Structure 1
Amino acid sequence: MRVIARRTLTQFVESPDGQKSQAALKAALDTWFHEVSKADWKSMSDMKKRYAHASVVNAERIVFNIKGNDYRLIVAVDFERSIVWIKWIGTHRNDDRIDAATVEHE
């Protein structure tokens, strides 16, 4: 899969929310990024085989738990084009304040 907007992850790690556990968060995000970059998902079911605990919001939005359940990563996926767009990352607490179906990175 082609992952778009990796910079969003880097910016979050460097932000005050990301710095609370910076090394562990960076390692978890790097692992997620490399796994997804190597993946060849054709459908949600392909993704769920690897990430069973990911939450499917709608036909194209997925929420991943990062570093246990400390952080949430919201992406949009186009399976036909093999593209994953990073839309939002934040703490579990901040996730309650956004709409996963519509949130966009600022």
Structure 2
Amino acid sequence: MRIIAVSHLKTFWEKHPDVEQPLLAWIDEARNASWSTPAQIKDQFCSASILKSRRVVFNIKGNDYRLVVAVAYRFGALYIKFVGTHQQYDAIDADSVEME
């Protein structure tokens, strides 16, 4: 899968260094994946939450952080929509959030 806007993740881990390695691990796994259905994502990341409008929420670093992506299965692309702490995640609508 192609990951669009990895720079958002880099900016985030510069502020939260403890999440750099978990995010790099997620990036490696996602880039090597070729998901064509939500079920394939759940097979690889059983704690992922599949949302409407082709969005997926990933738990990062033991659920300390959350990552929301929009999946374009047809194009093999993941669009970063949100990365933040669990507390920040609780304050957003994961179905409509966009990176600023």
TM-score class, shorter: over 0.9
Aligned-partner residue type, residue 4 of structure 1: I
Counterpart mapping for 1:5-84 below 5 A = 5-15=5-15, 18=16, 22=17, 24-84=18-78
RMSD of equivalent CA atoms: 0.8
Aligned-partner residue type, residue 82 of structure 2: W
TM-score normalised by length of structure 2: 0.96
Do the aligned residues in 1 keep the contact of 2:2 with 2:76 (CA within 8 Å)? yes
Distance 2:32 2:14 in 1: 25
Q: Which 4+ stretches in 1 moved above 2 angstroms? A: none
- 1:12-55 alpha-carbon deviations (Å, 9 max, x no partner): 1122xx2xxx1x41000000001000101010011111001101
Distance 2:22 2:60 in 1: 6
Do the aligned residues in 1 keep the contact of 2:57 with 2:68 (CA within 8 Å)? yes
Can you give the 5+ residue segments of structure 2 that lack an aligned partner in the other structure? none
Say how many residue pairs are matched: 100
Can you give the 5+ residue segments of structure 1 that lack an aligned partner in the other structure? none
SS in structure 2 opposite 1:32? helix
Shift of 1:57: 1.4
